[in-house]
Amino acid sequence: MPIRIETGDITRARACAIVNAANSSCMGGGGVDGAIHRAGGSAILEACKEIRRTKYSEGLPTGQAVATTAGRLPAKYVIHTVGPIWGRCGDEARCDALLADAYRNSLQEVVKLGCDSVVFPAISTGVYGFPPERAARIAYRTVSEFLKTHPDMRVTFIFHSDHSRRIFEKANGL
Ligand code: AR6
């Protein structure tokens, strides 16, 4: 299935799963994370707390992903992943690899949940400062690679502004 690209608010997306650009605490924050927790309600935070009590007591490592309920959101699940903080990965290649991990591990969670659709925000390109063109190429390449083995998955990238969307499209020659 071809990758879809949209402008809008991820909290309104009607997909089986949406991905949250979280931080390792998994306890919420600003940007997409704040919007998802606000719109989804306390069920998401409760599920995150349970994850912190059990599987990830030290916090969710960068590049990993974990699923929770989506609470009141139209989606069924939220996949929380932690993108790299640009400039804090040791070197740039490591940052690239960690961003690809965040996409790949999120997609793996989506498959485990039995979902056939997922919507991604532009992970790490806000507060975490990853250069948007560079992030765009990594995101598109990682998802395209995944779709070779999962051709029926419907993957959408959603951007908060037409400006960010155009950066993504241009970076990928779309
Ligand atoms: N729908 C779609 N995209 C959005 C939305 C939305 N509702 N809101 C923002 N964006 P960011 P990061 C875009 O900062 O860089 C949080 O505090 C935004 O324009 O949300 O991975 C977390 O708790 C940008 O392009 O995520 C972490 O501490 C993109 O989503 C930290 O920020 C990602 O921006 C994670 O930083």
Kindly report, residue by residue over 15-69, the tens digit of the pLDDT.
Answer: 999 999 999 999 999 999 999 999 999 999 999 999 999 999 999 999 999 999 9
Q: pLDDT value at position 118? A: 98
Q: pLDDT value at position 167? A: 98
Q: Is 40 in the pocket of ligand 1 (CB under 6 A)?
A: no
Delineate the domains of the chain, giving CATH numbers in brackets: 3-171 (3.40.220.10)
Nearest ligand 1 atom to the CA of 125 is 15
Q: pLDDT value at position 42? A: 98
- First-to-last C-alpha distance (Å) of the chain: 16
* pLDDT tens profile 65-122: 999 999 999 999 999 999 999 999 999 999 999 999 999 999 999 999 999 999 999 9
Helix H segments across the chain?
A: 31-40, 42-53, 92-112, 132-149, 162-171
Q: pLDDT value at position 1? A: 82
Give me ligand 1 centre to Cα 66, in Å. Answer: 17
Phi, psi dihedral angles at 167 (to 5 degrees): -60, -45
Q: Is 158 in the pocket of ligand 1 (CB under 6 A)?
A: yes
Query: Which residues pair with residue 67 across a beta bridge?
Result: 79
Give me ligand 1 centre to Cα 39, in Å. Answer: 14
* pLDDT tens profile 125-163: 999 999 999 999 999 999 999 999 999 999 999 999 999
Exposure string (b/e) for 61-75, b if CB count within 10 Å is 16 or more? ebbbbbbbbbbebeb
Q: pLDDT value at position 37? A: 98
